[in-house]
Structure 1
Amino acid sequence: MGKITEKLLLEKCTPKNTKLEQVKTLNLSKLGLKSSDLPVPLLSRLRCLEQLDLSGNRLQEMPSGLFLPALRSLDLTNNEMEDVTTLATLTTLEDLRTEDNLYVTVSDNYKLMILLPKLRFYNGKDISTAANHIRYDNSENLRKRVLALWETSFSLPDHRTAEKLAIVERDFVNAVRHKVKYGPSSLTDYTKWRVGFNSGDLMVAHHVAISSSLTNTGTHTLIHPPPLSLQPLHVLQCHSKQDSPDDFSTQLWACSFQPKLDYNGDVNGATRIVATCGGESVCLIDCETGLVMKKYKVPGEEFFSLAWSTVLMSLEGNVGMRPCSILAAGGKRGLVKLLHPRANMAYGEFRASRKALSILRFSPRQGNLLFTGSYDKNILMWDIGGVDSKYNFKVIQLLVLETTSTPLHFCLPPGTPDTHLIAACEEGLHSYNIQLNKDPKKRSEEMEITFPVYEKDKDHDYHTIDGLGFLTDDVVASKTHMQGSIYLWSWKDTRAQWPNNNNKKKEKVCAVILAELQWSSTDIPYLSLNTCPSKGYVVCGDERGRLWTYHVTDLNANFRSGKAIPATEILEWPLPVRKGQGPVEGPAINSVAMDPELRYLVALSDKNMAVVWIRTESS
């Protein structure tokens, strides 16, 4: 095969394009390519590439340093692949084919499921269940065996130097690979490879833990850019009954920005489309122009929640798959509506409860997994799968999580979204184990997380958790009805208190509070907060239309002997003017949402008004 050039790549892409940076589909099949024929610097310019066909070549491995941040589908059929670990940089892969590669073994298949955390389709089959078992159940068993070997035969040296630690790590990894056994003989290669990973991770974990304790770095420091400035841009009244401009009674409940399909960004920059719901409609709003791009209406419904996700859609004739951005919405009727906004259609629905739905949330790691909470005091986990070219889909119920009250908000810890779910409910905050390889499929809470405010005043019940969100992988922001403040607490430190003694009786664990943020002293419930992790912001609206914004930097420095920390800025209600009747007074802000870069903030009110705020440069 001759040299691969930019001209050749542009000839082989579909649809035709003039810039490598914009190519999404590329066919390099049957060109007789060897690994050395793939020019990494040139291919790395394909930052929007989603589908790559390399079938029918002579590839033994993928070239070192190749990073394709948007790649979702790769066809390596009929090659000479020997080292599948060279695919490790392609972490966004969801669909992979390796048939007719003589040297790809069962152990290699296992390695791929570990290396590619988003892989769902392998050689044309849905492997989600098997992959989850390998990633979590299998890996946990191996981890325990590695840990047992460490605790019985090894320890860190008293006087730690880099050289001494390197020797201990070398000896430990060597011992693990020879002594830890698991699974049939056909998986010996995989087991040695996997425990090598585990043992290395374990050494690092021990070293970090000891170093931290010696240097007393018990602080939770968040490093972020300086505070931002926000200005009101649009006020919309797009959920009105019968499109009446006099409707100031419809409550708006939930909003969420559309995620980017292109993980490395696209030519249009950050996401600016936000979905809002309330009354009998769901709207998609362009935050820049203030235009309602799409509106979905169900007479007689009252929507309470919505959630975005990305699933795979089969192409016509099953020749491949492409990512598809979908929106789920639900409310009073207990039905989940599935929408494909790009096609401007509602492609399906399914009944999640006989009672109203209160909250929907997709898994950030597996876009086909949906959690629904309802007024029947149950949380259900569903696999909604993907869709084919005719929008056929299949829904499977996976788990039932029992609560004692209505769930209001869900959070999946960013570091472990496949193992735990935290539910904010009318009667407390509860943690659940959601690992699919565990039994039973109907579960009660693992533990209840309590807060100091519970003891504040015996005359009031502060157990309604009506705001919840992660600010980092560890730091959680939450608020309780009538608390008058927002807690920042550590998920990891809180969970570390759980005894994990297999006692079926539920455990209560007090949240490890890092800081307390001043907020409005109101008795109005369900005014939820939101977070923007990339900018270090927590935002919560109040009963007067104001937005309390908190730019969280160094929690330890700001704690000030347990006193509540004031807001960075309180944004006043913009006082929109109603034609012929003067300004509209501030309503209660039920919900807020921010795009990942905090270019826009959207606030929804209980008086049928959605306010779009835009970031401006601070002076």
Structure 2
Amino acid sequence: MKRKLTYDSDENESGNIEECTQGLEYDNKFFEPVHFLRCHSKANDPADVKTQVWQCAFEPDMNSPGHTTNLLATCGGNSVCLVDAVTGKVSKKFYPEEASILLFSLAWTTLHPGRGRKCNILAVGGSKCYLQLILPTKNCSLLSPPQFLSPPSKNKAKDLISCLVFHPTMHGVLFCGGSSSSIAAWDISQCHPWSDSSEPKLPELLMSITAHSEVFSLSFSKTSNVLLAGCNSGLFGWSMNEVKWEKNVAPHQRKPKGIEFILPEVSEGNGETDDDETLVDSVVCIPGSSLVATKCALRGLIYLWNLAATIENMQVKSNKISESRKVKLSVTPVKCLRWSDTDDYFMAMGCSPDGQLLGCGDDEGGVWLYNIGRNVVEHKAKRVKRDADQPSMTEPHQRLLWPSTLADPEVQNARKVKRLEGHGGVIDHVTVGITQSGAIHLASVTSTNLVCIWKAFDDEEMVSGDKMLK
């Protein structure tokens, strides 16, 4: 009898998301800055503006799928911070076992160890292919020793893990991507204190996928069962429909079907296409739908497209399609969302857990917000010319500008004002959390060592006042 990997399928998850969606109206919400923290400083320097904070994510609510708690995880420099979004206080802080390790990526999952137990695990990745699992409720790291995952290139000392994502139903399956031009899937389902084994459980390799170029962003579509990767050479995907997850199957026998997604071309004035504009630095599968948001470098826009409609005619059973020989599918955007004309890279998008609000930062400390749930709902894609003509743009429904009244006395005393140039620097990542009570917080992290927390208010609840960095 074949044994499958341990995973949990939340039957009520989609229903909870839909219920959450129906109760929110983002057109009537306005965000106010409530907490700005400099909590990843090197040597606890309160004026450190050089440490980059790369990613942030709200903890999922174990008892209410589709919602989050107020606990925000952030990673940057050589530390992970857990921040209470309500109080603005850092409740816990974790450091790698080696001081030289820099952290770039994180992801949450909820495991069910048995006997009715539930626990949230935070995975963190960084330089030298470092991976650690954190159990916040016990204030401990779970991997002893920590794992340095060896990529196929075997250049572990130089490679790094820049993106992580958990499988949406097999909650113990973790996908890791980075500079090694490969993606590895690991089973961490037994890496918890309640494991039956007397020895510490370590991650087990399930699958290795060749991405052909550096991987910057990962996202998994629950509705289509496809893993998406934003890479240096474009957007790629792997259909998991035919993957055999049984425990007695060797990693090299798990071969997902590969897809290369051809995005609309953008030509220069001379008619040639800029190679840099094929770089996809952020991809997000919109929760509860088949929509995908994709951001290419240097294009000044975000593509919103329907994954299910794009792959519906793909002959996944063809012998010509494999993990290494990909089928090519053209992407037709449903919407083109106007974004910054910056020439900076690696500003990652984030979406609310109800799939309604998409956010992306820019290089001036601002956050662009798009209410994608009101007018874009699973309809047929409109054809967009794939040539030099600029497609029509959808404007952001709201832009959060860097607070002009933000006081930063430590930086001013250290005479580092010129470096900040009047704003918070590049927004590296944006995330949105919604609690079961309906409270909405937006968080962003910056290249200048800042964690920024905004709270949504109704129009009549708006507050104002000077803010000070903590």
Do the structures match in fold with TM over 0.5?
A: yes
Partner residue, 1:508: 328
CA displacement 1:484-541 (0-9 Å, x = unmatched) = 0111101011112424333144222111210101110011000111112526111100
Distance 1:503 1:232, change over 3 A: same
Q: Note the C-alpha offset of 1:444.
A: 7.3
- Show the counterpart of 1:382: 186
Map of 1:289 onto structure 2? 87
Aligned letter for 2:4? S
CA contact under 8 A between 1:401 and 1:442: conserved in structure 2?
no
The structure with the largest alpha-carbon Rg is 1
Residues 431-580 of structure 1 correspond to what in structure 2 (within 5 A)? Answer: 431-434=237-240, 435-437=242-244, 440-441=252-253, 443=255, 446-455=258-267, 458-461=272-275, 462-471=277-286, 472-500=288-316, 501-504=318-321, 505-534=325-354, 536-552=356-372, 553-555=374-376, 562-575=391-404, 576-579=406-409
What's the CA shift for 1:442? Answer: 6.1
Q: In the alignment, residue 452 of structure 1 is paired with which amino acid? A: P
Alignment of 1:45-60 (within 5 A): none
Q: Is the 8 A contact 2:101 2:130 kept in 1?
A: no
Q: Is the 8 A contact 2:237 2:261 kept in 1?
A: yes
The amino acid of 2:327's aligned partner reads E
- Which residue is equivalent to 1:258? 59
RMSD between superposed Cα atoms in Å: 3.0
Opposite residue 277 of structure 1, the aligned amino acid is C
Q: What's 1:368 paired with?
A: 172
The offset of 1:441, in angstroms, is 3.2
The answer for unaligned runs of 5 or more in structure 2 is: 10-20, 151-155, 385-390, 461-470
Pair 560,614 (structure 1): closer, same or farther in 2 beyond 3 Å: farther
C-alpha contact 1:347 1:391 (8 A) present in aligned 2: no
TM alignment of 1:70-219, pairs within 5 A: 127-129=3-5
- In 1: Cα distance, 2:381 partner to 2:457 partner: 26
What amino acid sits opposite 1:534 in the alignment?
A: D
Using the TM superposition, give the Cα deviation of residue 321 of structure 1 relative to its aligned residue in structure 2, in angstroms: 5.3
Out of 208, 226, 234, the residue aligned to residue 35 of structure 2 is: 234
Aligned-residue offset at 1:258: 0.6
Q: Distance in 1 between matches of 2:54 and 2:320?
A: 38
Partner of 1:352: 149
Which deviates more, 473-482 or 255-264?
255-264
Structure 2 letter corresponding to 1:379: I
Once residues 451 and 602 of structure 1 are traced to their aligned partners in structure 2, the CA distance between those partners, rounded to angstroms, is 29
Alignment partners' CA distance in 2, 1:281 and 1:335: 13
Tell me which moved more, 222-231 or 555-564.
Answer: 555-564
How many residue pairs were aligned?
397
Matched, 1:588 2:464: no
Give the structure, 1 or 2, with the largest relative contact order (CA under 8 Å, sep 6 or more): 2
Residue number in structure 1 paired with 2:230: 424
TM-score where L is the length of structure 1 = 0.60
Structure 1 CA distance, aligned partners of 2:266 and 2:329?
13
Shift of 1:432: 0.8
CA positional deviation for 1:256: 0.7
Measured in 1, the distance between the counterparts of 2:238 and 2:429 equals: 25
Measure, in 2, the Cα distance between the counterparts of 1:483 and 1:401. 28
| Deviates further, 463-472 or 477-486 | 463-472
1:131 and 1:236 map into 2 onto residues whose CA distance is 37
Question: Partner residue of 1:330?
Answer: 125
CA 1:391/1:487 → structure 2, altered by over 3 Å: closer, same or farther?
A: farther
Q: 1:470 to 1:444 in 2, by over 3 A?
A: closer
CA distance in structure 1 between the partners assigned to 2:78 and 2:352 by the alignment: 29
Q: What SS does structure 2 have at the residue aligned with 1:595?
A: strand
Aligned to 1:492, what secondary structure does the other structure show? helix
| Alpha carbons of structure 1 residues 559 and 604: separation in structure 2 relative to 1, 3 Å | farther
Q: Secondary structure at the match of 2:221?
A: coil
Checking the alignment, whether the CA contact within 8 Å between 2:332 and 2:382 is kept in structure 1 is: no
- 1:493–1:512 Cα contact (<8 Å) kept: no
Query: 2:7, 2:172 within 8 Å by CA — same for their partners in 1?
Result: no
* CA deviation string 1:79-109 (max 9, x = no partner): xxxxxxxxxxxxxxxxxxxxxxxxxxx9xxx
What is the deviation of 1:388? 3.7
The structural deviation recorded for 1:264 is 6.8
- CA gap of 1:241–1:570, structure 2 versus 1, over 3 A, is same
Change (3 A) 1:421 1:254: same
Q: Equivalent residue for 1:275?
A: 73
Work out the CA distance in 1 between the residues paired with 2:166 and 2:434.
Answer: 17
| 1:616 aligned residue | 457
Amino acid paired to 1:351 = F
- 1:311 aligns with one of 111, 120, 125: 111
Aligned to 1:54: none
Structure 2 CA distance for partners of 1:237 and 1:358, relative to 1, 3 Å: same
Structure 1 residue 278: Cα displacement: 0.4
Structure 1 residue ranges (4+ consecutive) displaced by more than 4 angstroms after TM superposition: 442-445, 454-457, 556-562
Give me the whole-angstrom Cα distance separating, in 1, the residues matched to 2:42 and 2:141.
21
Deviation at 1:235, TM superposition (A): 0.5
1:604 maps to 2:445? yes
C-alpha deviation, 1:344, in angstroms: 0.8
Aligned to 1:317: none
State the match for 1:5 in structure 2.
none
Q: Distance in 1 between matches of 2:108 and 2:304?
A: 26
Tell me, in whole angstroms, the C-alpha distance in 1 between the residues paired with 2:160 and 2:399. Answer: 34
Alpha-carbon distance between aligned partners in 2 of 1:336 and 1:557, rounded to the nearest angstrom? 41
The Cα shift of 1:578 comes to: 1.7
Distance in 2 (alpha carbons) for counterparts of 1:534 and 1:127: 34
Q: 1:46-78 CA distances to partner (integer Å, 9 max, x unpaired)?
A: xxxxxxxxxxxxxxxxxxxxxxxxxxxxxxxxx
Compare the two structures and name the one with the higher helix fraction.
Answer: 1
1:406 Cα deviation after fit: 1.2
CA contact (8 A) 2:306 2:381 kept: no
CA contact (8 A) 1:447 1:498 kept: no
The 1-side partners of 2:306 and 2:65 are apart by: 30
Q: Distance in 1 between matches of 2:296 and 2:233?
A: 10
Counterpart selection for 2:137 from 342, 352, 358: 342
Summarize the Cα distance change of 1:376–1:427 in structure 2 as closer, same or farther, 3 Å threshold: same
Q: TM-score, normalised by structure 2?
A: 0.78
Distance 1:441 1:337 in 2: 27
In structure 2, C-alpha distance between the alignment counterparts of 1:478 and 1:535, rounded to whole Å: 15
Q: Label 1:441 to 1:278 Cα distance change in 2 as closer, same or farther (>3 A).
A: farther
Helix, strand or coil for the counterpart of 2:125?
A: strand
SS in 1 for 2:31: strand
CA distance in 1, matches of 2:380, 2:167: 34
